[in-house]
Structure 1
Amino acid sequence: MNSIRLFLIIFILSLCGCVQTGGDNQVKAAQGYLDLSRWDFAQLGLAPLDGDWEFYQHSINSSDSPRLLLRKTKKDFFPIPSIWRGDTTQGVPLTSQGQGIYHLRVQLAPESGADSLYIAGMLSVCRVWVNGDLVAASGTPGNNIELEIPQKHLLTPNFPRAGRYVDIVLELSNFHNKEGGINSSILIGTRDQIQDLINNRRISGAITGGALLIMGIYHLIIFLMLRSNRENLYFGLFCILWCIGTVFSPSSAFLVTKFFTFDWGWYIKICLLPAGLTVPLLLIFYNSLFPQKYGEKVNLIYLVFGGIYIVYILVSPPSAYSLGPLAYFLVSRTAYVYLFASFINDLRKKRKGAIYLAPGYLALACAELNEVFFDFNIFNSVDFAPYGTFMFILSYSLLMSARFSETLSKYEKISGELETSKKDEHDHKIVHVRLSKMLNTVDEALLAVNSDLIIDFCNGSFEKLSGFQDIKIQGHHLVQLFESNGHHEIEDLLQLLRPQSVAAGKVRKDNFKFPIADGKILNASISMWQMEVENETIYVISVSPAAVVLDKRQLAVQIMNSSIECWEKSADQDKASLATQSGLWNVYMEKDGYSRTQTLDRYLSEETLPSRPRWKNVYATVEFVLANTAARDATYLELEKGIAELKKMS
């Protein structure tokens, strides 16, 4: 908050320094005469030639000089600056188009050194005589639109001094513009002062216009890189339009004419056109930053107004001071009422960043009011507009800086989290590789999960036993995996996986209902223990199917099948040869030459096993196979063990 208060103080001081006031030094012309004999040009600077000038409006084509025409008519007066509206001092009604002659006699101190004029705002063509000499012209005046040729918007004539008095005559004609007259103060001073004024205004315009152009391009580039942030698009376009208005504006001494030549009419149109978009863009920009309830409707209304204004400027003659631009100017300024109300509401709601824009909108409002006062001849300067724009850019820069700082902090935080995540992922991969090497070397069905119950690995034995595949279940949560396969009652398993249970040592649970694929349940014995792999805690679950106790009939079927398997592997012969060579089972030859062992086959399944089996044949078959098998492999050992258990049951 201290930085905001400091900025507000600097802004107010800058605002005070930009306001131009006449004070007690302001003098006015009266009845075509102005006394500047006491005006100190060295201390007070340029003197405005404001006030009532001797004036005569006509529409005749005369070869007489303007000074002579004035002498032939009754004296009448009309003020500068002002446009041709209303009546003269003598009650003569004025027309917006026609010809007019101004005359002013100025008294100067002999040592003043004033020998130059600054004339802008003449509508449309002006010729300047000083002490009877033609010193400047902004084009060719005429009594109709075909003869009138406007060319320039600014005149800075120098004139020779001849005594204490300066006799100034202005010949004006207007057939190209909808309004006539001179709507800017005419200034008098030394050549250096006039040149300094032009240079200062152009330098100020160049700095402001350059800053606006750079800001506009900068924000448009940001928008192209990050299209979701449309505030940059609106602000970039706003800055570029303000840049155009600034370099074409009289307040920058028509800077662009220093480098380029434009058609007189199009120059005025280009000066006026940006206003059709700057106000709508300002509203869209603000409503984008701080969305309002009726923001979109307000944006649409002012876009329509702006569009109508632009079409009007394009299709109508140059009309800087006509009723059309003035009407749009007044209507569009209601946007500031909306902006001010929205801004107060945003401040009341304490919307983040709204306070940063306060000085900028206040400066813009002051700049617009300054132009209003200028148009109504209340203030004689429009120099505050560039400063108002600069203040607005500065306030927006403060807001963007605050947002950028916040975004950068979030970015750094996210970057840190991302680095941590990458490290964890790398460590996890190392853990997985290590676990793969360790667990794939054992025959037990093993499943490994981390402290968050995320599956790290399962070996091939677990895949065969459970029906789950390592590549599909890796990275899944253990609970979600089981629930997605139709198992919802797994509290017993979760109880065993609690850290306090496993940390105490190896945990074993027999006759446990372990969930497997396809919603099936496996009756198994499970063991769980904790291990550390690359500084990560891993819980290993070993799953072993519960041992099945077989009865005598089941065991007989099992060892008969094992006998045939062992015979086929060792002797490389089928069961028919076993029946024939052992002499224990009948063999029937079919017509097709196929040997059938119907009796032996009945002993290979529980369903076909006779109710009263020939136990001696079973024992003898197993013993025959064992006696004729050379390899003492696992199948042989299981068969030997099985026959021993069967004999114990007899």
Structure 2
Amino acid sequence: MNSFSKISILLFVLGVFFNSCSNDNDRPYAVNGILNITDYHLNQDIIKLDGKWEFYWNRLISPEDFRKKKVEESIYSNVPGIWNDLTEENSSISGQGFATYRLQIYNQSSDSEFGIRLNRINVAYKLWINGDLLAENGKVASNNEEIIPSRKTTTHYFNADSDIIEIVLQLSNFNQKNGGIENSILFGNEKKMQTSGKRGMALNFFLFGLLLIVAINHLILYKLRSDVTSSLYFSLLIFSITFSFAISGNHNITSIIFSDLDWNILMKLDYIGDYLSLFFFLKYISSLFKEEISRLTNRIATIVILTMILFVLITSPAIFTYTVILSYIITSVLVLYISFVLAKAIVSRKEGAKQALLGTFILAIAILNDSLNNHLIINTYYLLPYGLAIFIILQSYLISFRLSKAYQYSVQLTDELDYFNENLEKLVKDRTSQIEQQKEELEVQSESILVANDEIIKINQILEGQSVEINKKNKAVTDSINYAKRLQEAVMPEETLLKENFPNHFIFFRPKDIVSGDFYWYGEVDSSWDFDESNKIKIIIAADCTGHGVPGAFMTLLGHNFLHMIVNIQEVVDPEQILYKLDQLVIETLKQKETGTMKDGMDISVLTVDEDKKSIAFAGAGNPLFYIRDGELIEIKGSNFGIGGVLRKEKIYLPHKIEYQEGDIFYIFSDGFSDQIGGPDGRKFYKRRLKEILIENHKKPVDEQKEILNKAFEEWKGDKKQIDDVLVMGIRM
């Protein structure tokens, strides 16, 4: 269905709606119980007896009482209308009770045969025309025990020779919320009324039959295609709409099909039919657009609707008729939600969403119009038959279109299968030829693989022999390095010696490989002439040699030997002099002046401790000194010149003297800790973080400080490799 068709249908419905809302000023209207139709031609049209009728609350007045003038002054009530909205003597009138309506028609027509139609009055009534009892529906009574309610649309014919036609209508209601005449009473000449009645009956039965045919047709479609549940729910929706149409419409289908059915059951069926229509409408939309509709909302709506149906079943009309407003609210909310779901489907470009939304919109307008009309808010024509017709056409088109596409797809698959069957023999031959060709290729490849496999076996045998030899050599090298490690550890100062001279110290030493390029050294020199041990000068050194592993380890051995010569033999105790002599020995031993290319050497920190004078002398070649006093970290930088290597300018190593206090703690170290790569961004640890750790933990015991440094290093390194040897020494004075 193209856009033009949709717009045409929408404009047609809106045109009918607004046209029906227009007031026809030529129609007669009753004023204060009198309807003047002397200037109106009844043979041309049927009129509505709308307007102000005389109204007598809680009084059942007969025409005889009016003739004898035994009637008190009346009030006036709108017809159509309900008496719940009226007041008498400043008090509201209840919907349950009894009353008498009276209207006098002034007529000068030459006709004497008339008809009057009472459209679906849901209460018991008696009708008199000019004093003669013309009709009785149910049993009118002044109490709940004697009343027999009834609901029928009936047309009655009578003769009237006088110019004034008096209509007296007694009503009683004790069985539902609203009392009164809720639909227009029609009046006209007998022939016109009979013709109109027959046409209305024919149209209503035509619509009734058409709805049944559509419902049965879609039920058969579901039987043929049980996987298409939308056909089932649409069929049930049409069945429920047909049922409601037969029960509640302003026609005689109810009187013919349900003539002997109890009034209470008819009222229940009326409400249940509406709720079932709403329920199956929700299920129908859910089956079409499963992805767009919320399962939770679907369940809640289902529970609410089924609860309302159960409430109608277990209560009487005197109770459940008070839920009309609630049912309108539920319907409005559900229609808005379904419209939202269909809008989502349109945005998602789901097939049929536009037709479904258009049909829902048209049906909602028709239902809204008829609901407002039933509650006397507006006075229009009933549009539900037209809205239903367009809704059913659109939805039938939608389901048929989907089934047609499924059928076309099935036909396409059938054609493909037929083509495949017709060409199966040729396909088998072609495939057999391909397989034979592939077999020949595989045989050639298999021979090549066998030859290659023999070559691989020979190569593997050679590699296995080489692997055994490599493993032997690797073990020999590893054993040699492990032996070198033991030698390196042997020349390091013993822990007992350091503990004896510096009780509060720690050494965090972590080589990168088996042997290390970092080392620490300790020596003593007697500074007194009488060899008093209490006057010993203690020298503690932390050194970082060029490289790591085996090359670095060789440099550490040179460093140990040179320091032993300088301090223990030559008894040099000034830290800057130790550095000068060490630099000279490294350059001479490695012949760096002759080659001019070797840059091997070391960065080193030298501390000399004179406990008698409570002083420390420091000199550094490339490495600094940290010490903390009263919570403040002080850094003394070493010289920019390392040990070893040939420079064009003279090296200078400056001495620094510190008068230490009890509790001061001194740190010397290599650059391995601060240069370690790690952390969340893969950066260096840097001296800044090292300073923060030392300041934060300097008051803690030295052994605990060592563990803290180890933990910080591991966490920073993470799963990355250690890039250098690590050495950190701490001494608390």
Specify the TM-score bucket, using the shorter chain as the normaliser: 0.5 to 0.7
Provide closer, same or farther for how the CA distance between residues 299 and 209 of structure 1 changes in structure 2, counting only shifts above 3 A: farther
Provide closer, same or farther for how the CA distance between residues 133 and 299 of structure 1 changes in structure 2, counting only shifts above 3 A: same
- Counterpart CA distance in 2 for 1:204 and 1:71 is 46
Provide closer, same or farther for how the CA distance between residues 250 and 193 of structure 1 changes in structure 2, counting only shifts above 3 A: farther
Given that 1:86 and 1:94 are in contact with CA atoms closer than 8 Å, whether structure 2 keeps it comes out as: yes
- Counterpart CA distance in 1 for 2:145 and 2:182 is 24
Deviation at 1:79, TM superposition (A): 1.2
Deviation at 1:105, TM superposition (A): 0.9
- Worse-matched range after superposition: 239-248 or 317-326: 317-326
Paired residue secondary structure (2:172)? strand
Q: 1:401: which partner in 2?
A: 400
Deviation at 1:379, TM superposition (A): 3.5
Mapped pair 1:368 → 2:363? no
Given that 1:220 and 1:236 are in contact with CA atoms closer than 8 Å, whether structure 2 keeps it comes out as: yes
Paired residue secondary structure (1:78)? strand
Q: 1:295: which partner in 2?
A: 294
Provide closer, same or farther for how the CA distance between residues 295 and 204 of structure 1 changes in structure 2, counting only shifts above 3 A: farther
- Counterpart CA distance in 2 for 1:145 and 1:450 is 95
Deviation at 1:102, TM superposition (A): 0.2
Deviation at 1:514, TM superposition (A): 8.8
Aligned partner letter, 2:28? V
Deviation at 1:244, TM superposition (A): 0.5
Mapped pair 1:197 → 2:196? yes
**Equivalent runs, 1:10-29 vs 2, <5 Å:** 10=9, 12-13=11-12, 16-17=15-16, 20=20, 21-29=22-30
- Counterpart CA distance in 2 for 1:141 and 1:313 is 25
Provide closer, same or farther for how the CA distance between residues 199 and 330 of structure 1 changes in structure 2, counting only shifts above 3 A: farther
Given that 1:77 and 1:89 are in contact with CA atoms closer than 8 Å, whether structure 2 keeps it comes out as: no
- Counterpart CA distance in 1 for 2:275 and 2:302 is 8
Deviation at 1:131, TM superposition (A): 0.8
**Equivalent runs, 1:27-46 vs 2, <5 Å:** 27-43=28-44, 45-46=45-46
Deviation at 1:449, TM superposition (A): 2.6
Paired residue secondary structure (1:146)? coil
- Counterpart CA distance in 2 for 1:171 and 1:190 is 23
Paired residue secondary structure (1:121)? strand
Q: 2:696: which partner in 1?
A: none
Given that 2:154 and 2:252 are in contact with CA atoms closer than 8 Å, whether structure 1 keeps it comes out as: no
User: Given the two structures, how large is their TM-score scaled by the length of structure 2?
Assistant: 0.56
Which of 231, 253, 256 in structure 2 is aligned with 1:255? 253
Mapped pair 1:348 → 2:347? yes
Paired residue secondary structure (1:350)? coil
- Counterpart CA distance in 1 for 2:230 and 2:185 is 42
Provide closer, same or farther for how the CA distance between residues 509 and 264 of structure 1 changes in structure 2, counting only shifts above 3 A: closer
Deviation at 1:187, TM superposition (A): 1.0
**Equivalent runs, 1:146-165 vs 2, <5 Å:** 146-165=145-164
**Equivalent runs, 1:142-181 vs 2, <5 Å:** 142-181=141-180
Provide closer, same or farther for how the CA distance between residues 334 and 382 of structure 1 changes in structure 2, counting only shifts above 3 A: farther
Aligned sequence identity (%): 23
**Equivalent runs, 1:83-232 vs 2, <5 Å:** 83-88=82-87, 91-111=90-110, 115-232=114-231
Q: 2:432: which partner in 1?
A: 449
Paired residue secondary structure (2:78)? strand
- Counterpart CA distance in 2 for 1:273 and 1:349 is 35
Paired residue secondary structure (1:25)? coil
- Counterpart CA distance in 2 for 1:70 and 1:377 is 33
- Counterpart CA distance in 2 for 1:510 and 1:401 is 60
- Counterpart CA distance in 1 for 2:272 and 2:184 is 24
- Counterpart CA distance in 2 for 1:213 and 1:509 is 73
Deviation at 1:295, TM superposition (A): 2.7
**Equivalent runs, 1:415-426 vs 2, <5 Å:** 415-426=414-425
Deviation at 1:97, TM superposition (A): 1.5
Deviation at 1:419, TM superposition (A): 0.3
Given that 1:136 and 1:155 are in contact with CA atoms closer than 8 Å, whether structure 2 keeps it comes out as: no
Deviation at 1:223, TM superposition (A): 2.2
Given that 1:70 and 1:101 are in contact with CA atoms closer than 8 Å, whether structure 2 keeps it comes out as: no
- Counterpart CA distance in 1 for 2:293 and 2:401 is 27
Mapped pair 1:77 → 2:60? no
Provide closer, same or farther for how the CA distance between residues 390 and 63 of structure 1 changes in structure 2, counting only shifts above 3 A: closer
Deviation at 1:142, TM superposition (A): 1.1
- Counterpart CA distance in 2 for 1:14 and 1:114 is 38
Provide closer, same or farther for how the CA distance between residues 510 and 36 of structure 1 changes in structure 2, counting only shifts above 3 A: closer
Given that 1:76 and 1:90 are in contact with CA atoms closer than 8 Å, whether structure 2 keeps it comes out as: no
Query: What's the RMSD between the two structures over aligned residues?
Result: 3.4
Q: Deviations over 1:451-490 (max 9, x none)?
A: 4x4x79xxxxxxxxxxxxxxxxxxxxx79xxxxxxxxxxx
Deviation at 1:70, TM superposition (A): 7.7
User: Given the two structures, how large is their TM-score scaled by the length of structure 1?
Assistant: 0.63
Deviation at 1:346, TM superposition (A): 2.8
Aligned partner letter, 1:257? S
Deviation at 1:389, TM superposition (A): 1.1
- Counterpart CA distance in 2 for 1:94 and 1:69 is 27
Q: Deviations over 1:342-399 (max 9, x none)?
A: 3333333332222223442222111111122213313445631122111111001221
- Counterpart CA distance in 1 for 2:223 and 2:58 is 57
- Counterpart CA distance in 2 for 1:306 and 1:66 is 49
Q: Deviations over 1:39-84 (max 9, x none)?
A: 23344x2211111110011168x89956369842122111111223
Provide closer, same or farther for how the CA distance between residues 254 and 510 of structure 1 changes in structure 2, counting only shifts above 3 A: closer
Provide closer, same or farther for how the CA distance between residues 312 and 201 of structure 1 changes in structure 2, counting only shifts above 3 A: farther
- Counterpart CA distance in 2 for 1:371 and 1:304 is 26
Mapped pair 1:55 → 2:38? no
- Counterpart CA distance in 2 for 1:174 and 1:32 is 22
- Counterpart CA distance in 1 for 2:65 and 2:304 is 43
Pair member with larger Rg: 2
- Counterpart CA distance in 1 for 2:328 and 2:56 is 31
- Counterpart CA distance in 2 for 1:398 and 1:232 is 12
Given that 2:30 and 2:49 are in contact with CA atoms closer than 8 Å, whether structure 1 keeps it comes out as: yes
Count of equivalent residues: 452
5+ long unaligned stretches in structure 1: 433-447, 457-477, 480-491, 497-507, 516-520, 523-650
Q: 1:548: which partner in 2?
A: none
Paired residue secondary structure (1:150)? coil
Deviation at 1:104, TM superposition (A): 0.6
Provide closer, same or farther for how the CA distance between residues 63 and 76 of structure 1 changes in structure 2, counting only shifts above 3 A: closer
Deviation at 1:324, TM superposition (A): 1.2
Mapped pair 1:307 → 2:306? yes
Provide closer, same or farther for how the CA distance between residues 510 and 383 of structure 1 changes in structure 2, counting only shifts above 3 A: closer
Deviation at 1:207, TM superposition (A): 2.2
Given that 1:248 and 1:255 are in contact with CA atoms closer than 8 Å, whether structure 2 keeps it comes out as: yes
Q: Deviations over 1:542-563 (max 9, x none)?
A: xxxxxxxxxxxxxxxxxxxxxx
Given that 1:78 and 1:88 are in contact with CA atoms closer than 8 Å, whether structure 2 keeps it comes out as: no
Q: 2:441: which partner in 1?
A: 493
5+ long unaligned stretches in structure 2: 455-733
- Counterpart CA distance in 2 for 1:68 and 1:306 is 53
Given that 2:47 and 2:187 are in contact with CA atoms closer than 8 Å, whether structure 1 keeps it comes out as: yes
Paired residue secondary structure (2:255)? helix
Provide closer, same or farther for how the CA distance between residues 378 and 112 of structure 1 changes in structure 2, counting only shifts above 3 A: farther
Q: 1:280: which partner in 2?
A: 279
Paired residue secondary structure (1:273)? helix
Given that 2:339 and 2:357 are in contact with CA atoms closer than 8 Å, whether structure 1 keeps it comes out as: no
Paired residue secondary structure (1:5)? helix
